[in-house]
Amino acid sequence: MKTNYLKKIQKEGPFLFVIVLLTIIAGFITNQPTLAMWFGFLVAGYSAISNDSVQTLGTFLSSNRKVKWYYLWLFIGSILIFTILYGWHSHSGDISYGRLNKIPQPESFNYFQLIAPIVLLILTRFKMPVSTTFLILATFSSSKTINGMLTKTFTGYFLSFFIAGVVWSLVAYLIKKKKTDIEKAPSKRNAQMWRVFQWCSTGFLWSAWLMQDNANAVVFLPRALTFVQALAVALLLFIGIGYIFYKRGGQIQEIITEKTDVIRVKSATLIDLIYGFILVYFKWINDLPMSTTWVFLGLLAGRELALTRLSGHNQPYQRTLALVMKDLFRAGIGLGISFLLALGASGRLADIV
């Protein structure tokens, strides 16, 4: 037992060293706005994409596990660069697509704001699908803005849960009626067609997600960037996403692989399409940020319950409910930590806690 414990410590040694180093750096540069701004962006950019990769790229990685990682990276990375630069062009230098309209540009930073993305790195290491939106943006937001974000987020969870339940109940019913296995692989020709569909749906979802959650990283930066700054942001995130693809999503990818049938290209395509359309819908409602993590968890929960009930699997409800509750528990922990960080950063959360 002691030997196993020591092995775990040795395995996590490099990661712990990085965390300690980042925490020390954050303390030293808190009173230097320019350094703090770029430090916060770099750590937040990597940590937010790393944690949220499970919802946007998780099914893509799982169902393309035999494809070279750098092909996947170049495809997703090119969409990232295009989306950021298009946002800069269409929103007068604002690459957050207006998500930060209600969050003033910070003129200075406090320690809690700088360590929030570091905390996110730790939670990602523990495979917790936390809300990067609340964990980072809450430290910059007023109570009124946070209330609006909460309302929009939980509305998104229940809406995605309902839509997923209806869609996969219908899919499972039709498949059951035709007496075919839901996990039956398509023919070689159809498989190629579905692969193209999946890459297109993933590109659509990835772009929609960036329009929503890119704000989590660029909240540290000026609201209107120069072209050089926007290009630098795009290239830095491009490099970061490359490392994530090299690691095949990391440990948090388990949240996807433990779900029913997600490594199949058909299921992955359908998940990406529905999720992408839900994000686009909420983007149209208003410019408030929202937790896309909770929307994704609602989508997976509704899907799992529908498949358990109607697909003909022998998988008991207890396992499905355990998976749903485990995801909610992890996300709930992240939400609680987010509120504590916001309280430490400004104290303005006291009236809604």
User: Which residues of the chain are under the pLDDT cut of 70?
Assistant: 1-10, 54, 172, 175-189, 249-265, 309-323, 346-353
pLDDT in the model for residue 180? 52
Kindly state whether residue 352 falls inside one of the protein's structural domains.
Answer: no
pLDDT in the model for residue 65? 79
CA dist., res. 341 & res. 120, Å (int): 11
Burial of 33 (0-12, 13-18, 19+ CB in 10 A): middle
CA dist., res. 231 & res. 89, Å (int): 12
CA atoms within 13 A on the CB side of 273: 13
* DSSP code at position 36: H
CA dist., res. 301 & res. 100, Å (int): 29
CA dist., res. 218 & res. 346, Å (int): 20
Kindly state whether residue 353 falls inside one of the protein's structural domains.
Answer: no
pLDDT in the model for residue 82? 97
Nearest residue to 167 (alpha-carbon basis) of 266, 68, 65: 266
Domain that holds residue 180: 2-345
Degrees, nearest 5: CA angle 184-253-207: 85
Kindly state whether residue 350 falls inside one of the protein's structural domains.
Answer: no
* DSSP code at position 264: S
pLDDT in the model for residue 296? 85
Kindly state whether residue 297 falls inside one of the protein's structural domains.
Answer: yes
pLDDT in the model for residue 349? 44
- Give me the number of domains the chain comprises: 1
Q: List, in order, residues 6 or more apart from 149 with CB less than 8 Å away.
A: 133, 134, 137, 138, 141, 288, 289, 290, 291
pLDDT in the model for residue 260? 47
